[in-house]
Amino acid sequence: MSNELRWNPILGTWVIVSSKRESRPWREEKCPFCPGTPETGYGWDVLVLDNRFPALRPDARTSVESRDIYRVEPGYGYCKVVIESPEHEGDLDTIPIENLRKYLRILGEETAKLCRDKEICYVIPFRNKGELIGVSLTHPHSQIYALPFIPPRINIELRNAREFYKEHNECLFCHILGFEEKEGKRVLYRNKLFTSFLPFFAMWPYEVHIYPRKHVLHLSDLDSGGIEYLADILRVTVSMYNRLFDFSLPYIMIFHQAPCRGNYNYYHLHIEFYPVHRARDKLKYPAGIEWGAWVFTYDDLPENKVAELRYALQKAVEYLRDRGYSPMGRIISWYTYLGGGTLTSRYS
Ligand code: ZN
Ligand code: ZN
Ligand code: FE
């Protein structure tokens, strides 16, 4: 059994290669995340487990040696699974709110813990939901990868944020947030500490980003208030997605935080959602131009998609209230947008 990193000298990126991962189970008879299995036991509400079929592991061995320009390194790292509820069905808008808060605290604690390993450079929690995204287990769960390198997408974000900071002496993310809030056209929901919006430069039709309005770098920097308001906006966002077409919408949710160590004060924690639908019955397939060139095409105006998401948000707020949860923030209504009102006038 081997877990290794193979260097792509043309793209300058690592590929994680593991020999035995293919044999991992695809939809087992009995759910391994439900309480009462040898791994899960009983008496928990949120549970962290080691991935049984990790792509990275601390005792990783390579299958070959480096030779010529082909570099090989052990696939050192950790792959964790976070089970968000003992209930077999659910999403972040239906699990108890206490679970959601605890889940976020755990992601922060795990990040801090994994970063204490000097070999680990970057910790990335994410949630894949839905069979369309290739999720083999439907029990609500997320994953955490602790990587021995900074991933390329993060490197690009870091580089641009550093350049912007050097030029303007301001955080790029704080600036984007300020501008989105001033324009108000793409802002969706806002509570005391967080704002969600569909970015001006969205790549996925219903892509949504969530930024803390305070400049923080890691999940572990959030205090109990930060956790409470992040749980709120995640709950509302996921509920919005599930109301959009009135079915449980598949999505990828990813936490972008600063690397484990080093001075990255110009970076800013944020969450990105990539749903794969472009309409109720149509998917956005990343195909030739997306994969072959890393250029995304967007087949509508993002501002039009905002109107759809705001409508779904109204339904989401009602849905959550009916189930006993009162959202802590407010929708940035389409009336605000149509009336040309800016957020600064309403929310200063
Ligand atoms: Zn289950
Ligand atoms: Zn910032
Ligand atoms: Fe990002």
Please tell me the distance between residue 64's alpha carbon and the centre of ligand 1 in angstroms: 38
Which tens digits make up the pLDDT trace of 42-53? Answer: 999 999 999 988
Say which of 141, 209, 256, 270 is annotated catalytic: 141
The reported pLDDT for the residue numbered 344 is: 40
Tell me, in angstroms, the distance from the centre of ligand 1 to residue 128's CA: 16
Domains of the chain, residue spans = 3-330
- Spacing, Cα 183 to ligand 1 middle (Å): 44
Smallest-distance ligand from the CA of 267: 2
Q: What integer is the mean pLDDT of 202-230?
A: 97
pLDDT in tens, 7-20: 999 999 999 999 97
- Angle, CA of 5, 120 and 268, to the nearest 5°: 110
Higher pLDDT, 334 or 220: 220
- 56-105: pLDDT as tens digits: 999 999 999 999 999 999 999 999 999 999 999 999 999 999 999 999 99
pLDDT of residue 20: 73
Confidence of residue 347 (pLDDT cuts 50, 70, 90): very low
Give the mean model confidence (pLDDT) for residues 261-269: 97
Ligand closest to CA 37: 1
Reported as a pLDDT band with limits 50, 70 and 90, residue 131 is: confident
Q: Check residue 136 and give its pLDDT.
A: 74
The percentage of residues in the chain with a pLDDT greater than 70, rounded to a whole number, is 93
Tell me which of 337 and 215 has the higher pLDDT: 215
* pLDDT category of residue 21 using cuts at 50, 70 and 90: low
What's the rounded Cα separation, in Å, for the pair 174 and 297?
Answer: 26
For residue 271, the model assigns a pLDDT of: 98
pLDDT above 60 for 265:
yes
pLDDT tens-digit readout, 281-324: 999 888 899 999 999 999 999 999 999 999 999 999 999 999 99
185-186-187 Cα angle (round to 5)? 100
Please tell me the number of the ligand nearest to residue 27's CA. Answer: 1
Q: Pick one of 3.40.630.10, 3.30.428.10, 3.40.50.720, 3.40.50.170 as the CATH number of 3-330.
A: 3.30.428.10
Q: Among this protein's residues, is 141 annotated catalytic?
A: yes
Q: pTM of the prediction? A: 0.93
| Lowest-pLDDT range of 24-33, 59-68, 135-144 | 24-33
Tell me what pLDDT residue 211 has: 98
pLDDT of residue 25: 60
pLDDT class for 27, splitting at 50, 70, 90? low
pLDDT at 290: 92
pLDDT at 348 over 90: no
